[in-house]
């Protein structure tokens, strides 16, 4: 059965509140720990996650102009600036207080907004070894977004690879002779979104 927009909004709000609870429990050292977002600590990643709530469309457009139209340069600059200017409690509050904020990325609508929160949350919690597990309903919504277009956008090099979840009935890629990567679904989701994970022991 197809997930409704109201159901996705509910999952977005729950994800933001749960992540805020996680951030509330971090030590100062953990706030300065690296994440799966190359070059960003927890502070920068949290700042980036809440940028869409704190910046108007006009201000975002101005920041993009200042970055020469380069979206990656703009988001990196803003994340670093906000991480330096805002205390951890302010970054956490920006996430919790905007649980129902209607922000969505330029492409992809509500599902992409959920993906933005879930993926960046995992960017934080996986390197910290917190063992957070994304609820199955959220995982199923996001696994449905894994397409060749997703892989290209996030520069995920999965040519000749079949992804096969070990904890859900889900797989992606059926090329003959493909190498099968079997891991928990949320690890496969990170791979599809261009993240590099350590090899399982």
What whole-number distance in Å separates Cα of residue 50 and Cα of residue 29? 21
Token look-up 């070059």 returns: 39
Residues of the chain with CATH 1.20.120: 5-145
What whole-number distance in Å separates Cα of residue 51 and Cα of residue 113? 12
pLDDT in tens, 112-151: 999 999 999 999 999 999 999 999 999 999 999 999 998 9
Extended beta strands in 37-192, E state? 161-165, 171-172, 179-183
Nearest one of 130, 96, 121, 108 to 189, comparing CA atoms: 121
Give the per-residue pLDDT at 113: 96
Quick one: fold of 5-145? 1.20.120
Residue 166 to residues 73, 118, 142, 156, 161: CA-CA distances in angstroms? 37, 19, 16, 20, 15
pTM attached to this predicted model: 0.93
């Amino acid at each position: 059965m197809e997930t409704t927009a109201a159901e996705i909004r509910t999952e977005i709000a729950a994800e933001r509140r749960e992540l805020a609870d996680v951030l509330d429990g971090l030590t100062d050292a953990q706030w300065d720990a690296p994440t799966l977002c190359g070059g960003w600590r927890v502070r920068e990643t949290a700042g980036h996650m809440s940028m869409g709530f704190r910046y108007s469309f006009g201000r975002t457009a101005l920041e993009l102009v200042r970055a020469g139209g380069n979206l990656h340069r703009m988001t990196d600059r803003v994340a670093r600036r906000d991480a330096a200017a805002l205390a951890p409690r302010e970054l956490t509050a920006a996430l919790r207080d905007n649980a129902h904020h209607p922000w969505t990325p330029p492409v992809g609508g509500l599902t992409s907004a959920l993906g933005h929160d879930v993926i960046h949350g995992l960017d934080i919690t996986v390197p910290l070894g917190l063992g957070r597990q994304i609820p199955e309903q959220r995982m199923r919504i996001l696994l449905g977004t894994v397409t060749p277009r997703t892989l290209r956008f996030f520069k995920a090099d999965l040519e000749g690879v079949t992804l096969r979840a070990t904890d859900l009935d889900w797989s992606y890629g059926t090329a003959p002779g493909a190498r099968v990567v079997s891991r928990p679904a949320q690890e496969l989701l990170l791979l599809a979104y261009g993240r590099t994970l350590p090899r399982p022991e």
